[in-house]
Amino acid sequence: MKTSDAVTAQDMQLRGPAGARLHARRWRPGQAKVGKHAPIVLLHDSLGCIALWRDFPERLARATGREVLAYDRHGFGASQARQELPGTDFVCEEGTQVLPGLLAQWGLERCVLLGHSVGGGMAAHAAAHLGAACEALVTIAAQCFVEERTLQGIRNAQAAFADPVEFSRLEKYHGDKTQWVFDAWTKTWLSPAFADYRLDEVLGQVRCPALVLHGEHDEYGSPAHPQRIAAAVRGPVELALLPDCHHVPHREQPEEVVRRVVRFLG
């Protein structure tokens, strides 16, 4: 267990699909608010894991006074390796099948969901599925359809990660699972079978308050994505297009992202 400015971080093991071992972490602030407000659960992006959230969860816990929880999806980070690539419905499966089971293992009856990139789509599915148990939804750089900018960004990433130096940087986080992680992202999104991916229908089932954050220069999605998300959800919504920001706002502008989340939840 680590302690930093009254925020404690505790690692734990959960069970995912077919009993797969999943690595998880809980950040618990010392403020009295803990237990009175729903914890924030983070869902990572296509190349992500707990470690790649860096200090954002700790910042979030300290600023909101809420517990923050995150996990490495099956096949990612410190979780158990996976052999088969995800199916085309993997976003829905994570949000409606995997995540509810993890919330039960954490003992959570209520939550706030925060998802980055494809994790935002998973969070939207979970918010619709959980109903009143999800108190609020935050999406960061989420894609709600397959856009040419998204596909070109992935092709550019394929070229960049062909460099062994770049690939080795990713290996620091995923180890011998790195090639699977990369293929799970690129081969799925670039597959013709995934071309019809849409969040519109599920977004129409989201009735909790939603905060939609997106970088002005996001290389994986135009402003059409946050605009479409904000227009589709049925609850109160706040949309912010962050200037001078790309695909990872919580690393590029962490103070601004935390400030907006705190204000939204407050």
- Please tell me whether residue 116 adopts helix, strand or coil conformation: strand
On the question of pLDDT at 59 being above 50, the answer is yes
On the question of pLDDT at 85 being above 70, the answer is yes
On the question of pLDDT at 1 being above 50, the answer is no
Average pLDDT over residues 50-79: 97
Give the pairing of strands 7-15 and 2-4. antiparallel
Return all residues near 191 (Cβ < 8 A) that are at least 6 apart.
88
> Could you tell me the pTM of the whole model?
0.96
- Segments of the chain assigned E as strands: 2-4, 7-15, 21-29, 40-43, 68-71, 111-116, 134-140, 210-215, 237-242
On the question of pLDDT at 239 being above 90, the answer is yes
Q: How confident is the model at residue 30, as a pLDDT? A: 86
On the question of pLDDT at 37 being above 80, the answer is yes
Average pLDDT over residues 130-138: 98
What dihedral do alpha carbons 139, 144, 150, 151 form, nearest 10°?
140
Burial class of 39 by CB neighbour count within 10 A (0 to 12, 13 to 18, 19+): buried
Query: What are the structural domains, with CATH classification, of the chain?
Result: 2-265 (3.40.50.1820)
Tallying the residues shown for the chain, one arrives at: 266
Q: How confident is the model at residue 3, as a pLDDT? A: 41
Average pLDDT over residues 70-92: 97
Q: How confident is the model at residue 15, as a pLDDT? A: 97
Distance of CA 251 to the CA centre of its chain: 13
On the question of pLDDT at 4 being above 50, the answer is no
Q: What is the pLDDT of residues 144-190, one digit of tens each?
A: 999 999 999 999 999 999 999 999 999 999 999 999 999 999 999 99
- Closest to 184 in 3D by CA, of 41, 77, 71: 77
Give the pairing of strands 111-116 and 68-71. unpaired
Q: How confident is the model at residue 33, as a pLDDT? A: 65
Q: Tell me what percent of the residues of the chain surpass a pLDDT of 70.
A: 97
| 57-75 exposure pattern, b = at least 16 Cβ within 10 A, e = fewer | bbbbbbebbbbbbbbbbbb
The residue written with tokens 């608010």 in the block is 33
Rg (CA), the chain: 17
On the question of pLDDT at 61 being above 50, the answer is yes
Q: How confident is the model at residue 115, as a pLDDT? A: 98
On the question of pLDDT at 134 being above 90, the answer is yes
Q: What is the pLDDT of residues 216-227, one digit of tens each?
A: 999 999 999 999
Of 28-32, 51-55, 98-102, minimum mean pLDDT range: 28-32
Q: How confident is the model at residue 2, as a pLDDT? A: 45
What dihedral do alpha carbons 200, 70, 257, 141 form, nearest 10°?
-30
C-alpha triplet 10, 16, 21: angle, nearest 5°? 60
- Helix H, strand E, coil C: the string for 2-59 is EEECCEEEEEEEEECHHHCEEEEEEEEECCCCECCECCEEEECCCCCCHHHHCCHHHH
* Euclidean distance between CA atoms 266 and 263, whole angstroms: 5
Q: How confident is the model at residue 36, as a pLDDT? A: 83
